[in-house]
Amino acid sequence: MTNIDHWLSAITLLSALGCGLIAGVFFAFSSFVMKALARLAPGQGIAAMQSINLVVLNRAFLGAFLGTAAGCAVVVFGSLLRWGRLGAVYLFVGGMAYLVGTFLVTMMFNAPKNDALALVRSDDPQSAAVWTHYVAVWTAWNHVRTAAAFAAAVALSLALAF
């Protein structure tokens, strides 16, 4: 095993752990956080989610979320350099599952929904309809992110077996 192989294995392990961590965070939102927020009065739900969307922008979460994306990008590149070897397909699939299904979905769907919600006044008479739509669409895309991060963790873990 070369030095590059050792580095790729280490990055794959860290990326698999990061994918699992992010899958867990998103799973919590899909399985109970959004359901709890949806049970609140619309104004309260909006205010709570607006607060969550501000607080989530911290070093710990962003470090894990973005660090895992960076690790997955390295893993995908490494898989292409080792394309005939055992495990390369798992590296590629795992890295791409996170990059497309978790990172890209966040940037294209969940984050813009959060940005739009930030502009909603919780006391606006239209806020109930906005909130109902937000919860349904945001949660549906969060299910995608959860499944993709979990699938990425599985694929990257399998790649370590080769």
Q: What gap in Å lies between CA 139 and CA 9, rounded to an integer? A: 33
H-only helix segments in the chain: 3-28, 34-39, 42-55, 59-81, 88-98, 105, 111-118, 127-159
Q: How many CA atoms lie within 13 A of 49 on its CB side?
A: 35
Q: What gap in Å lies between CA 92 and CA 89, rounded to an integer? A: 5
Q: What is the pLDDT of residue 3?
A: 87
Q: What percent of the chain has pLDDT over 70?
A: 100
Q: How confident is the model at residue 76 (pLDDT cuts 50, 70, 90)?
A: very high
**Other CB atoms within 10 Å distance of the CB of residue 22:** 27
Inform me whether the pLDDT recorded for 54 exceeds 90. yes
The backbone torsions φ and ψ at residue 56, rounded to the nearest 5 degrees and listed phi first, read -65, -20
Q: What is the pLDDT of residue 15?
A: 98
Q: What gap in Å lies between CA 109 and CA 7, rounded to an integer? A: 33
Q: What is the pLDDT of residue 95?
A: 98
Across the range 19-27, mean pLDDT stands at: 98
Cβ neighbours of residue 138 under 8 Å, at least 6 residues apart? 34, 109, 110, 113, 114
The CA-to-CA distance between both ends of the chain, in Å, stands at 12
Inform me whether the pLDDT recorded for 1 exceeds 80. no
Q: Rounded to two decimals, what is the model's pTM? A: 0.96
Q: What gap in Å lies between CA 154 and CA 162, rounded to an integer? A: 14
64 contacts 17 by C-beta, under 8 angstroms: no
Q: What is the pLDDT of residue 118?
A: 98
Q: How confident is the model at residue 63 (pLDDT cuts 50, 70, 90)?
A: very high
Convert the pLDDT of each residue in 32-47 to its tens digit. Answer: 999 999 999 999 999 9
Q: What percent of the chain has pLDDT over 90?
A: 94
Convert the pLDDT of each residue in 80-128 to its tens digit. Answer: 999 999 999 999 999 999 999 999 999 999 999 999 999 999 889 999 9
